[in-house]
Structure 1
Amino acid sequence: MSPLSYAFAGVLGLLVLSSAVSGSPEWARIEEKLRSDLLSNYDKNVRPSNTTVISFNGPFIRDVQLDDASNAIEMFCWLNFQWQDDRLIWDEAKYAGVDVLSVPVDMLWTPDIATYNSPSIDDVRAIDNQPMVVKSTGSVLWIPPAKLRASCGADIRLWPRDTHVCNITIGSWTQSGLMVDFDIQSQPEIKYWTGKETNMTGSTWEILEANSTKESKQYPCCPDIYIDVALSIKLRRYAPSSITTIIVPAVCLSLLTLIVFLLPPSAGEKVTIGGFCLVLDLIFLIYISATIGVTRSTTPILVKLACQQFVLAAISLMVSVQVLRLARGPRSSGLSSCIRRPLAALASCLFLGNYSAMVTNDRPSTKDDFKKYPDHPPQYSQLSSSSETTSTDDYVVLAAVVDRLLFLLFLALCLNNVIRFWSVL
């Protein structure tokens, strides 16, 4: 090769090197030419092929919420669609090695994805128009953010330990299975769906299971078969604060009612504490109803527990008033001996030894006092006071026995409620 040829080659190399260093204008012109060549005769309303197969890989879930009142699930996720469009194939060597393009979504064909079981018309098309990634092989990758909202019947009977299985069905709105078909990729791990390493940290729901299935359906409007993708998600409520704000107060209020029957039968504080318990149960019932919300489908077991506790508190207050009246009311005569003896035995069985001694100590009657002291009979006032004290003691013991029996009955009811509602406690 002549020296002139070497010089010419050196100058050409310097020009190419300087062009590569400056970079941006030349690279921009190459990409502009590539876009012009690809999209000049491209019709975005025409499908890439007669039957376009769209590969679907499970969504990347960023957040999920289940509205108990409206019975709707709302999931914010990134969908993952991929298909082949041979009209977008190019030779990398002709375009300085450019093998990937980012193309706005309104410039290429996209499937008209819609949510079939959305509760309102505003939620049918809730997919954002983010750009697509096109490779030189004609492969199109579209990962649009989407807020999918679908109907899901919430069964909150076991609130706050309830679990729900919700389905979100997506598919092409106008193109049947002969035009657009879906290919479900292998089911990814649950951590791919939820991204537990960085996301779902502030959600009140925990995703237990998630999978996607392909379904073929025929609708009354159209004779063709339509293909859709059903996303099934199993959720469990994650509410650790409910243990301290709802469950513990519910158990404490159930046990607080028992204190009314542990006070002495003649103590006026029984009515005060009973009324206080009734007010607390009413406030708790209002609070728990506002916290859980009202649904037309089911009633939470915890709300039933609060209602039953409110009824028990009201009954205990009414019974306490009757017991107090029985212990304090004036009596002209005591109980007969056929009642006093079984009453004393029952008081002993109920661990009321002090009250049992009050009815077992036989006091002489008025007639016996006259026989015992014929010369110096006791005064009438003394006899009257002794008789009144005896009758009062008899009814105090009777009130104590009734109190203790009611205590055992209410204790059995509280334990029964704890066993029945253990699934939510």
Structure 2
Amino acid sequence: MITETNMLRTFGFISVLMLGISLGNAYTDLRRGMTKKSVAAVKTPDVLSSSEYRGFWISFKNGEIEVGREYESMPFLHWKDKDPIHIHYFSFATWTDVIGKWLHSCEGDGEMQGDQPLSPLEYFNAEHKLQNDLMKGYSSQIRPLSNHNESLTVEMGLVVFYMDLRENESVFNVNGFLQIHWKDKRLAWNESHYEGLNILHIPSELIWKPQISLANSIDHTMNYMNAATHVTIMPGGVVLMIVPASFHALCEIDLRNYPWDTQKCSLIFYSYFNGGDRIDINLLYDTNPEYSLTTYKLIKNNQWHAVIDKAERVLTPDEMNYKEYPEIYFTFELKRKSPLFISTLFLPAIVTMIVCLLSLWMPPNCPEKMYMIISNMVVLFMYLAYLNYILPTNLEHQPTVVSFYGGTLLLVTISLLFTVITIRMTRLPKPTGMPYCLKKVIIGPIGTLLGLNWTGILISPTHKPLETLNGIATSFEHSQSSRHNEISSHQPDLEQFVVDSSSTGANMEWMVFALFIDRILFICYSFLFGILLSICF
């Protein structure tokens, strides 16, 4: 409360300054007159604290009222009275259940003596006195070195709690905190002068901090070093800063071996504005780099498993200004957990291959053969659409599983084409049989190798085709008994060619040729499917 008289009942109060009003210490408000009208209000969330001492300064000069935090020169509230009065009285009070201590030093004209040191009796405790002494004349904009030509060594480590990889966006996410050490000689003290105090915690914004950035961040406006946190200071001036943050870095994704792939991602930290001649960034444990990266508190990820993690320091030359920029690499190798993909991708791939090969063993003139191949094509189309949905489209290399399903679809399409040709070949009447050269191949060693040696009884050894199947059977009945026995032994094989009684001997020969094509395709497809499996899985 600020007044020009102590007779409040007669003249009323002039101004009231209220810190931390509303829910959550949300506002600081300056009210004027008996009407309590607000003349200046600013948002100051959590300006007061129930766990630590908070200091503020108030300045009155020529009608101007300014309020700021202790050790900060810039006020967070400012108001100028258009009709200034002479301030003679100040009254301090706290809210219910709030403890406050008022330290003030005023001259007769009401001006604050901000530069006057506090007496020993006015310090709250030894920590308050130490902080006040360390901050006298301290500049947070100057590197803590007496010789500006020297380089300041900054050591850093990383503690990881959780990591994840979004391959569709090529973003590597890490939740954890940075451990940063450096030495500031201006913050050293003698413990015996401060009741044996050997550690000090102060807000990080009060002191100089190295500007360290994430080089491969997706958002370069993010400044992790300006996070609202505290630093720990030792008597020798060693400063420890813990920076909790979520790091989002770009990562080059290689899905060629999907879903059994391993990705390599890194967090790259460096000081953009300072080369190694000004700030020398090093690992927290230079002799044992693996200790600079801690993952023992890592929460397991359902999709990725870190198989390798390492920390290393790399010097990157800058050709523009002939400097070397030290960079800290925290590298992770993430292996995808893929037991589910065995059932969803690998087994269906095996089934589609088996169905395709089985279709080649069906009779050439069987219409169900085409239905089986078309159903297989639909399944392959659906899986390719599924892979297109779950995988990023801007990949440099195509995943081998996509190549497998695409290659299988191509082979099944070729199989469908040959099926249409063979069905047409066996359904339409043929005036003549196969050429003699084809007959010779089928009834020769190649036909025997393909298991078609029994078809010789359906093929005329001359250029003329055989008669109808019934005629063949009749002629066989009047032939030698040994020939009759040969027909009887191959009766199950012959039944697949019996379509009707009007089937001519020429049609029978072309049906044998269609079967010959299917056997050739079966051998070729078995070989090609084996190659696809070995490459893709």
TM-score per shorter chain, which class? 0.7 to 0.9
* Residue 230 of structure 1, aligned match among 301, 321, 328: 328
The letter for the 1-side match of 2:126 is I
Identity of aligned residues (%): 21
| Equivalent residue for 1:211, pick from 302, 311, 315 | 311
1:322 maps to 2:322? no
Q: How does 1:2-401 map to 2 (within 5 A)?
A: 29-49=125-145, 50=147, 51=150, 53-123=152-222, 125=224, 128-184=227-283, 185-186=285-286, 188=288, 193-196=293-296, 198-202=298-302, 204-218=304-318, 220=320, 223=321, 225-240=323-338, 241-335=340-434, 339-340=438-439, 342-345=441-444, 346-352=446-452, 355-359=455-459, 388-401=503-516
Distance 1:244 1:388, change over 3 A: closer
* Larger RCO, structure (CA 8 Å, separation 6 or more): 1
| Alpha-carbon shift at residue 213 of structure 1 (Å) | 0.8
Residue 309 of structure 1 deviates from its aligned partner by 1.2
Q: Structure 2 unaligned runs (5+)?
A: 1-100, 102-120, 479-499
Q: Cα distance, 1:347 vs. partner?
A: 4.0
CA contact (8 A) 2:467 2:505 kept: no
Q: Give the structure 2 partner of residue 382 of structure 1.
A: none
The structural deviation recorded for 1:119 is: 4.2
Seen in structure 2, the aligned counterparts of structure 1 residues 138 and 329 have a Cα distance that, compared at 3 Å, is: same
Asked if structure 2 preserves the Cα contact closer than 8 Å seen for 1:165 and 1:234, the reply is yes
**Runs ≥4 in structure 1, deviation > 6 angstroms?**
25-28, 360-366
Structure 1 contact 54–182 (Cα < 8 Å) conserved: yes
Residue by residue, what CA displacement relative to the aligned partner does 1:102-133 show, whole Å, maximum 9, x if unpaired? 22111111111112343443356587432111
Is contact 1:331-1:388 (8 Å) kept? no
Q: Please give the alpha-carbon distance, in whole angstroms, between the structure 1 residues aligned to 2:466 and 2:282.
A: 97
Tell me, yes or no, if the aligned pair for 2:179 and 2:240 is still in contact at 8 Å.
Answer: yes
Cα contact 2:205–2:226 (8 A) shared by 1: no
Question: SS of the residue aligned with 2:378?
Answer: helix
How many Å apart are 1:144 and its aligned residue? 0.8
CA contact (8 A) 1:80 1:143 kept: yes
Distance in 1 (alpha carbons) for counterparts of 2:124 and 2:456: 104
Q: Is the 8 A contact 1:123 1:148 kept in 2?
A: no
- 1:332: how far off? 3.9
Higher-Rg member (1/2): 2
Cα pair distance change 1:255/1:295, threshold 3 Å: farther
Cα 1:123–1:347 shift into 2, 3 Å: farther
Counterpart of 1:414, as a letter, is: F
Greater share of residues in helix: 1
Task: Specify the alignment match of 2:45 in structure 1.
Answer: none
**Counterpart of 2:221 in 1: which secondary structure?**
helix
Render the CA deviation track for 1:396-415: whole Å, top value 9, x for unaligned. Answer: 22221211111111111111
Matched residues in 2 for 1:126 and 1:249: separation? 51
Name the SS of the counterpart of 1:143 in structure 2.
strand
- In 2, are the aligned partners of 1:260 and 1:270 still within 8 Å (CA)? yes
SS at match of 1:79: strand
Deviation at 1:416, TM superposition (A): 1.8
Q: 1:358 to 1:196 in 2, by over 3 A?
A: farther
After superposing the two structures, state which structure 1 stretch, 150-159 or 291-300, moved more.
150-159
Q: Unaligned 5+ residue runs, structure 1?
A: 1-24, 374-384
Q: CA deviation at 1:245?
A: 2.0
Q: How far is 1:392 from its partner?
A: 3.1
Q: CA 1:136 to 1:163, structure 2 compared with 1: closer, same or farther past 3 Å?
A: same
* Matched AA of 1:89: A
Moved more, 335-344 or 235-244: 335-344
**Counterparts of 1:230 and 1:393, CA distance in 2:** 77
Tell me, in whole angstroms, the C-alpha distance in 2 between the residues paired with 1:38 and 1:126: 21
Structure with the higher strand share, 1 or 2: 2
Q: CA 1:127–1:150 in 2, change beyond 3 Å: closer, same or farther?
A: farther
Q: Secondary structure at the match of 2:364?
A: coil
- CA drift of 1:234 comes to 4.3
TM-fit CA distance, 1:237: 2.8
